[in-house]
A and B are shown apart, each in its own frame.
Chain A
């Protein structure tokens, strides 16, 4: 029988006894029962306090503990902590109680605060209570002993105890895992480095104010997910508070980098430490080290690691180096990659060769770009010739270096992507055909929308069948439509670096005379070249510059400016800038607009002085188009600069001119891209509801999408109210914001938010919603979300509906293009796998969202496409045959079924007379058939259509009894859908599928890195067997009719040129 005391009166009475033993007895019992009797004890606090203050009393600390507990229950956390510190060793950090957890949290906060203050004011940490420090250290020790290394690391980072962090990592049983966890935290905290200031110290730890039981509500779910991945298994005395701690770590950490001056300086410290720890490990994880170094912007470190790996005798190390290369390329950090590449030491060649190679090195670093094409084609060739003279090790190094440089320049991945997209192209021409047939010929908007849709649908696949088959129809495109039709070729051939120029040759301006071609197709061709070479335009820049200089037709200038901007994205090339500026100063509206954007593209993320120059001109000129172009350009220059951009943003958002304010919105969006920065969000929301100009309001809402794309779950919530605004511009912005930030996620809330907007009363809102919906649903199958199918049907209906507005029709056409973009093999991805933002993709979407004013900018969306593929590569950077598993039903992720040819519905269906008897018989037969189906236990598979099966079984039924006796079990089994699917390298792996990917044990190849998608190097476990390569089915494998560029690279370059698809024959417009 459990007897409980009902009152602490007895114990309290005992406290006033004279005998010390009795007092002790009372105290220890009070301590044990404090959580029940704290209200009673609270009246006696002075008595217990006097015991604590009594120097004679042997157990003062126990008294302190009791007082601390009572204060804790009274909600006086500061007093509680003060007394808990007095309790010394009696305060047991291992105890599993709310009291200990809360106080530990408080203690750590306090300590971290003090440490932070000490670090900021550069004083020595003398003011920190040693008892506090002791508690935190005890806590850390306990975490480490319990194997909760992640918690320990979180606390250590938060408290800026790098020594402890190192200790935690070194003592953890899984050091590499811990390190990657650390990296995750540190990455998140760079993103959130503003957080703390935003919330203010009072709000970052809302736990303090709340009553003890409800401690943990504040931690946002996704943060918690980040904070303790894989901890769900821990029963955990500390799970709750520590997830909270790690979350607060994000806040805390953000307090480090005050101001833009020291951009996450503490993060740099942490990363440096991580790199150091990594290097200490017996088998360093170079992949992660290099990621760290990239964030640290230390190309030397990466280069030296790569060199070490390349020089190693083992093949695996070289594979690893290649893998690092691919991973770095994925982040699209062009400047850094070039830097790494240039720092890789040349192979030691005989002294006679030395001077010229030095020379080329010098020119290359000086010019960084212009000679690139030559170098790529030339350098390997030269070194190849010398292989014989070199030692074997050097020769091997040289060979590997060539490959690595190919990877780092991004060309290898572009090449492979191109091949993948070409070979796996599953675009549905029938959709286009239907669109083409249903849009009115004379409606030029829909006509060019169809051309856009075609280009997007085939982006990067090099398949231009549709255009070829419809040359007559195509020729209706005149003027700017012709411009965009030609530019569309650039999207289709995106990444076709070697042959881009020869492909576009027929449309390019012919030297000097300017005879023949219309300026529109010439301008479009230049734009197309830019799209083909986007962000990798070293080979084409010179040509574009020449074209720009040699013309004064504004349409051609327009195309050339856009092309140059794309090709030289983010290079900050002064000469090109000057050229474009000259165009700008001609004050021609069309060319000036492109020049403005182009300048921005050129200077992406540099925050250079040029911005003020551009701003000055924007004030000067009369042309709205130019102002708009410049506004966007200025916004692009501050890409990712966060606080540094604040002055400029302030300047722009306060401008009289709504177009500049509109640019200010873009500046906010791009400067704080993907940071979820509260200040930026607040500002944007403010403009979204208060600006006088609809354009500004629309853009402000749209910009939210960019700020929030790293947390797509948040966006629908934040814009949900705006999506119900009375102002159609705001609604449009809300739709696109969701489209941008949730692009490619197939997020259910996003779809729910967009659904009503697709049938809005205002035509352009419908347009925006349709496009946004397509962006969200890209690569989402109907099996995953049934609304995808409904959406496809809705698009079809809109396109076919005669009474639908042109605007929403255009939206529907574009949406069908985006939905099936890149031959149904690409998705829109703004973050790389290592959570780095992809500059090109973000910039692409930002300019794309400008299509409101200028349709040809639609093509910029192709920059944000990234292939959803697993591409395994062997040592030769070829694609070997390799199989792996996808542990999910194939139908879940398969390509959408091709649309069937429209049946002639023109025949009017006559109502057939149905006799009641036959109807009954039919019904009976049907019922029986159904029952039979059920008993056979076969589910209708996705591929087999229902009616066919019904018929089958009914015939079976009507057949004789002997047939019934042996039902076809084998057939049924086939119909049963398997629960897995074997994929063959290179395979399409959609984002949602990634978690189902499994690599088979005992297969010939072993991935170097267990990544479910992207480029993965494969280790060959049976090198003696001959390799079977896939991806050799390019049509060009037989033909040798290739341009000079190809021959040049074929010599020594391991670029698998022979696998490249043949350039299609040029076709001419009949204008």
Chain B
């Protein structure tokens, strides 16, 4: 098979980003252990983890600025160890600190990026106008970079990653240092881009993940703890969710009856001055549990409210991090 045909064939069968059992060692210290996951075209994957979890190191290995000690990293089907030029051609990368040349003008800098990415001269102006508009940089195009505010620097960093419409976009904390309005605009840019490209973004802002990501990868201490959609991760923890209710009935007798139910694990109650009792039940996942609880409570008095509280993504995250720590301690 001809080499270009072979490449095309390989590409058809490959994810936009594919990590297979990658590890990274610095001397005796292993920073990343056996990490594997894929990012498909058209999805935005959030990379979540506490500081020092290995997010940036993993990003660097995907971008090819650092090499994995073992395992393979593929970008658009190209191995970053053996074909880095093919991989980097299809990749836009915004590192943690936006890499900018302070002494150049914004236009000069973007021109350099377009040249380096090999964008033909006749398309260059259209391409640069497009990213300048997308990142709202029109007002600063002729300014020197050292004069820019932090928000503009961050957006210029994003703009350079978007130049050339890369298949894969790697963003290391893209909204750090932006004000709320800018954060929203930036998310919009990423969301739009993510509809037909593959985006991997690292963050520790949990709302960001729920707002724009279709899947979340949680990592800690260089290990992948979970990868799923935000809803999927929440559901996994829903097995022991809580049902809260407010009633005017006698709290002791209600508690007694509720504790007889199979799926109720524990109950706590608190009566306030107006004689209303707030009861919290920890329950095992069961679709009918709310109606059963309601039936019991109504027999004893008025039911003012009843709701099931799903764990927030924050709880999911903290739980995974805690579990990984416990596991390490017992080992």
Partners in one complex: no
Q: Which residues of A contact B (CB under 8 A)?
A: none
Instruction: Tell me the B residues contacting A by CB distance below 8 Å.
Output: none
